[in-house]
Chain A
Amino acid sequence: EDKVVQSPLSLVVHEGDTVTLNCSYEVTNFRSLLWYKQEKKAPTFLFMLTSSGIEKKSGRLSSILDKKELFSILNITATQTGDSAVYLCVFYGGSQGNLIFGKGTKLSVKP
């Protein structure tokens, strides 16, 4: 059975801290891995990763995929209160050729 496990499930940090969010997976027929940020409504796209070892960066956020060890991490440096959200790790692939979601990591950044 395809599954995606995110850790931690929730995290509280102070502004300026650096955080690392983890996503491990057991998915057949891997196509791509997507990271999303969800605040109150629809998730907003952060990164798409298809190749191992290539870091994607956008401002203070970065992500990398390790297809050998079956995990991905999302790093946020110099966190701000606006980073408070649920971060979703999503795979496209699986036996059904489908989107497979992790449960998300709820990040709270305190002033």
Chain B
Amino acid sequence: DGGITQSPKYLFRKEGQNVTLSCEQNLNHDAMYWYRQDPGQGLRLIYYSQIVNDFQKGDIAEGYSVSREKKESFPLTVTSAQKNPTAFYLCASTNRRGARTEAFFGQGTRLTVV
């Protein structure tokens, strides 16, 4: 079955460490996205990629980095420069069939800084 897989589900990080969140999709989607969700807030865009080897900053990119070396994969690195990384992270991908677009989501990764 096609879908998006995020791993790990839960991640604990010590202050000052970099961590990488994985997002893999087998839907043959061109576009992939990373969002952050904090309690009581909406989803905020961190980075997105419309095509392999290209990505763009979203609204809150500071302290994060991404790569898109393969169509299927869009890993997100939370660097030590991110001052408040504890949050729920969602990866999404979209296809486009003419005017119709469907977005699919991974199950999320909950990152906690200890």
The interface of chain A, by Cβ under 8 A from chain B, is: 31-32, 34, 36, 41-43, 45, 48, 50, 88, 90, 92, 96-99, 101-104
Contact = CB atoms under 8 A, between A and B. Distances in A.
B33 A99 contact: yes
A41 B108 contact: yes
A104 B33 contact: no
Interface residues of B, number: 25
A104 B39 CA distance: 12
Which interface residue of B33, B100, B103, B104 has the most chain A CB atoms within 10 A? B103
A48 B42 contact: no
Interface of B: 31, 33, 35, 41-43, 45, 48, 50, 56, 88, 90, 92, 94, 96, 99-108
Contact of B99 (A32, A96, A104): A32
Nearest to B101: A92
30 contacts: A31-B96, A32-B101, A34-B102, A34-B103, A36-B103, A41-B107, A42-B90, A42-B106, A42-B107, A43-B105, A45-B104, A48-B101, A50-B100, A88-B43, A92-B101, A97-B31, A98-B33, A98-B45, A98-B48, A99-B33, A99-B45, A99-B92, A99-B94, A99-B103, A101-B35, A101-B42, A101-B45, A102-B42, A103-B41, A104-B43
